[in-house]
Amino acid sequence: MTARQFMLVFLAVVVCGAGTSCTSDSTGSNVPTDAIQLHGAGATFPAPLYKKWMEEYQKRNPKMRLSYDIVGSGEGIKRFIAGTVDFGASDAAMNDEQMASVGRGVQLIPATAGILVLAYNLEGIGGDLKLKRDVYVDIFLGKIKKWNDSRIEAANPGLHLPSDEIVIVTRQDSSGTTYAFTNHLSTISTEWRDRGPGTGTLINWPGNVMRASGNEGVAGRIKLSRGAIGYVEYGFAERTGLSMAWLENKEGQFIQPSGGSGLVTLLNIPMPDNLRVFVPDPEGKDSYPIVTYSWLLLYKKYDDPQKVTALKQYLKWNLTVGQEFSESLGYIRLPPQVVARATAALEEIQ
């Protein structure tokens, strides 16, 4: 399925029950005449989970019309600041300058979390590849160019690594996933931070790289490209059937990517009052090294009282019942203390 097809499927469909008056919107879908419509845009990282939430919530609340444009965190923030959506979504949250530019105020709500994996395409090698921290930094710096490089072989004595060229796949759109990954690289490598690309949602990658839009696009490009490696959200890699490397954490342990390893990490991370926290290099021998929250961007004040009531009810459902869908889609169920803080923050929305 192409990214465009995925986006079209992702648009929520309202089911009109018997006896409910309906009209047709610009897409040809039937919409109850008294429907409350909420529209968002942003990150690709949580998109499959948001799609599931919208589908399930609309089954229970047929007068709700929910839609979400999968455009990446950077574009989602732009649309939110411009006021063209009811909510935004970003894996990079928003910085203080961006938040100050929104006259109605901003409330960040952590909605889900996940891990970033280094997925790869090597014939005959499944999910057994281990990558040390300095090794995967140098792969993305373009210093390590072949899969049978001695530094990769040193951590994988039992694998017969091919002499294939390493093909790096990155995001071409402004991306919170890129932000989380490069924030991690900047934390573990002074060269990456001070003399390399640094941290950002859109950066200049060293050397020749293949680029794709969205997590789905990166996963698809890796799947089709022998010798490829790229960073992608765990659920996308799992659904695409990609192999994922074991990554060395801060304690020198190789951790297999899984939802469980991500939850262990988050349970040890305190959430600050502004609900914005990044975990670029977590402590703990069992912690997976690249974990990120993903945030919904809300205005502190809305013009339509009916809409804000509906929005708060929907998001409270996401934070409670909706979390039950997380693990099956490759995401991390939010820790109870984070759910409590986020639910309390929703009460500040007017």
* Mean pLDDT to the nearest integer, 194-216: 94
Structure tokens at 345: 């923050």
Per residue in 11-25, pLDDT (tens digit) is 333 323 323 322 223
What value does the mean pLDDT take over residues 134-143? Answer: 97
pLDDT score of 262: 83
pLDDT at 78: 97
| 207 band by pLDDT with thresholds 50, 70 and 90 | confident
Q: Look at residue 212 and tell me whether its pLDDT is greater than 50.
A: yes
Q: In percent, how much of the chain has pLDDT > 90?
A: 83
3-state secondary structure 127-173: CCCEECHHHHHHHHCCCCCECCCHHHHHCCCCCCCCCCECEEEEECC
* pLDDT tens by residue, 68-120: 999 999 999 999 999 999 999 999 999 999 999 999 999 999 999 999 999 99
Provide the pLDDT confidence category of residue 32 given band limits of 50, 70 and 90.
low
Alpha helices in the chain (DSSP H): 3-10, 47-60, 73-82, 96-100, 133-140, 150-154, 176-188, 190, 214-224, 234-240, 259-266, 305-319, 336-346
Do 114 and 330 meet the contact criterion of CB atoms below 8 Å apart?
yes
DSSP-assigned letter for residue 332? B
Superfamily of domain 3-114+291-346: Periplasmic binding protein-like II (3.40.190.10)
Q: Write out pLDDT tens, residues 35-71.
A: 899 999 999 999 999 999 999 999 999 999 999 999 9
Report the pLDDT value the prediction gives residue 134, as an integer from 0 to 100.
98
Provide the mean pLDDT of the chain: 89
Q: Please provide the distance, in angstroms rounded to a whole number, between the alpha carbons at the two ends of the chain.
A: 39
Tens-place pLDDT, residues 225-252: 999 999 999 999 999 999 999 999 999 9
Q: What residue ranges of the chain are covered by domains with CATH 3.40.190.10?
A: 3-114+291-346, 115-266
- Would the pLDDT of 309 be above 80? yes
Residue showing tokens 């203390």: 337
What's the burial of 347, exposed, middle or buried (CB within 10 Å: 0-12/13-18/19+)? exposed
List of residues 6+ apart from 95 with CB closer than 8 A? none
Would you state the pLDDT for residue 100? 97
pLDDT higher than threshold 50 for residue 186: yes
> With 50 as the cut, is the pLDDT of residue 9 above it?
no
The yes-or-no verdict on residue 31 having pLDDT over 70 is no
Options 3.90.950.20, 2.30.30.30, 3.40.190.10, 3.40.50.300; which CATH number does 115-266 get?
Answer: 3.40.190.10
| Whole-number percent of the chain with pLDDT over 70 | 90
Query: What pLDDT shows up at residue 13?
Result: 32
User: Tell me, what's the pLDDT at 2?
Assistant: 43
What is residue 33's predicted lDDT score, i.e. its pLDDT?
58
Q: What's the pLDDT score for residue 96?
A: 96
* Cβ atoms within 10 Å, residue 149: 17
